[in-house]
Amino acid sequence: MSGGNINSVFYAGSYHPIQAGSIDGTDIHPHDNAICRALLCSSAGLYDPVGDPKAIGDPHCTVFVGRLSHFTSEDTLRKAMSKYGRVKNLRLVRDIVTGASRGYAFVEYETEREMRCAYEDAHHSIIDDHQILVDYNRQQLMPGWIPRRLGGGLGGKKESGQLRFGGRERPFRAPLYVPNFGVLRFVIKIFIK
């Protein structure tokens, strides 16, 4: 990490539900019901990521850990994530009613450098026979963020009809450039004559 603020490159500028569902960011209409729900939550102000009392600590030192086994405990997760740095705070998200794990957690490290190490090296590692996903804490760092439970988020599967782009698994990619073949034929004719 040579000089400068890594946050200016590392974190995306903002989140918009329709653009997260569009590979080139040009869509203007929602293509599934989840995006409609996310737009409703966004426009009505139904989700406040800053107002979450459980979201504590420095978001620049926190990673999101997803796709965990529902049997993974805090101790197991702490041991696995301690390989990448000193874990300051760990919150395994649990169901309010049953207390069962929801399959994701937030891990805060002592420094941003340790968080960056976990972001780069822990992604796709195995914990309790599950390949995990590690990403930065979009909830507090990405303006406009709407979580998956409210129709937003990133990722998804074509089979479910809720494909999103912009995360680690399906990053934004510019559309392929297709040259104008009419102009190309005209140029080829000029060179052949």
- Is the domain spanning 55-143 CATH 3.40.50.970? The answer is no
Please give the chain's pLDDT, 193 residues, in tens.
334 444 443 556 777 777 776 766 677 887 778 888 888 888 888 887 777 777 788 999 999 999 999 999 999 999 999 999 999 999 999 999 999 999 999 999 999 999 999 999 999 999 999 999 999 888 888 888 888 778 887 776 666 666 666 666 666 555 545 455 544 444 444 445 5
Q: Locate the DSSP E strands across 73-144.
A: 87-94, 101-109, 126-127, 130-131, 133-136
Domain boundaries, the chain: 1-47+146-193, 55-143
Would you say 188 and 54 are in contact if contact means Cβ atoms under 8 Å apart?
no
Q: What is the pTM of this model?
A: 0.74
